[in-house]
Amino acid sequence: MSLTPISHLHSEVLDLYEEIGSYLGVANKLHERYPYLAKPNQLRSYVKTEVNGQQVDYETVETNVRLAKQNQALVDRNRIKDKAFREHARIENAVLSYNEALLAELEQHGAALADCPRRSGPLDPSAAALVVHLSDNHFNELVNLPTNRFDFTVAAKRLQLLAQKAKLLGKAYGVERVVVFFGGDLMNSDRRLDELLAMSTNRARATVLAVHLYKQFLMDLRADFFVDVFGVTGNESRAKENLGWVDVVATDSYDFTIYAMLQSLFGAVEDAGMRFHEFQANEVVFKLHNETFLGVHGHQVNATDQKKCQAIIGKYAAKGINVTHILCGHIHATVISDYVSRNASLVGSNAYSEEALGFVSKATQNCHIVTPQGLDGVKLDLQNVDGVEGYEIISKLAAYNAKSADKAGTAMREPETLVKVII
């Protein structure tokens, strides 16, 4: 049977044609019986096709359709596979370039550390210790507000000022050991549009720059003290969209990358006075004299929420660990209390804090003096860096292009419009 508008009447058409013997006659008869059909003159050609047309093998048609669907499914799978392969190749190429930059940094600066000054000799276990809390440094962020400026140049100055104040504080208390706690969010996020607009360079280059600055900061402290280093991840430095809690997900973070690079740098020197402890995904515990510190980033606990603080202390008490003080950050506002201290940021105010949250903050970081007699917390003001030389930065890595380089170079001089919309 042929495929026509009257194929469903095929048997009837054949019977009528045997009876009448005329295509037009059959068409007239069909139109009488089924007025909804086309006019006889149009039906005539369909009648002729039905009478003379070849029978369609519907089983064959069905088979061919099924095979066509199977073939299309195969084509679709191959297309998806090819796309996935291309994306994977792009990622591998990016990772390769990233690793090459990291290895170059390690090779260039690793050997030079051997010649840096170091505190040596015996360590008095009864001497005071100093905890330097580094968190929410947000390297790679550009801030250009009337109330605050921030870029790599400013970061280098504020970090050096922190080392200077920490050393003065340490010497005043007779400190011999310094614990540097990397509390996360060392790198700025790039997942939101406003963050992308306020980036100095890409994250790979920013990672190298961050390592370069932290290396100088640690060696600055190492010249006068024995140094222990601990670290956890934050939330803004994560490499992927989702925030993970298990180690393998949480450490997919630039916080971990920076820490691991520093550990590799200083590990190659075989310096007994610089110890990097195992990096932790979310929480780390360390003890100084009679104080047991719990270090977290701060998205797990709110320093102003006493119940949450007690709950997390209770969790460790159930494990037989008596936490006496919690160190956290995240909120970019300083709190120092009896059992918990919240770090602010190296950045200070930015557009988000001023416009979205409605408050102005300072660039500060916390330090804690630990003696056998107790714990003293101090907020170190790092906002004003007039007269501070600053650590060396790798200027060629500090900007994507001339426009960004100009932003980085002029950020301390005058406000500028990052985006201009012309309608």
Per-residue pLDDT tens for 83-108? 766 766 666 566 566 566 666 666 66
Of the listed ranges 217-221, 273-277, 404-408, the least confidently predicted one is: 404-408
The 10s digit of each residue's pLDDT in 177-214 is 999 999 999 998 766 655 666 677 788 888 889 999 99
Helix (H) or strand (E) holding 145: strand 143-145
Mean pLDDT of 299-318: 82
Mean pLDDT of 268-272: 78
Residue 21: how many other CB atoms lie within 10 Å: 9
Nearest to 285 by CA among 232, 341, 237, 342: 232
At 194 the pLDDT is 58
Instruction: Classify burial at 398, counting beta carbons within 10 Å of its beta carbon; exposed 0-12, middle 13-18, buried 19 or more.
Output: buried
At 203 the pLDDT is 81
Band the pLDDT of 423: cuts 50, 70, 90. very low
At 278 the pLDDT is 93
Distance CA 166, CA 169 (A): 5
Band the pLDDT of 402: cuts 50, 70, 90. very low
Helix (H, G, I), strand (E, B) or coil at 147: coil
Nearest to 255 by CA among 160, 156, 329, 352: 329
Please check the confidence at residue 392 and state whether its pLDDT lies above 80: yes
The 10s digit of each residue's pLDDT in 326-344 is 999 988 889 999 999 999 9
At 262 the pLDDT is 92
Residue 376: how many other CB atoms lie within 10 Å: 14
Instruction: Classify burial at 419, counting beta carbons within 10 Å of its beta carbon; exposed 0-12, middle 13-18, buried 19 or more.
Output: exposed
Distance CA 263, CA 16 (A): 95
Please check the confidence at residue 121 and state whether its pLDDT lies above 50: yes
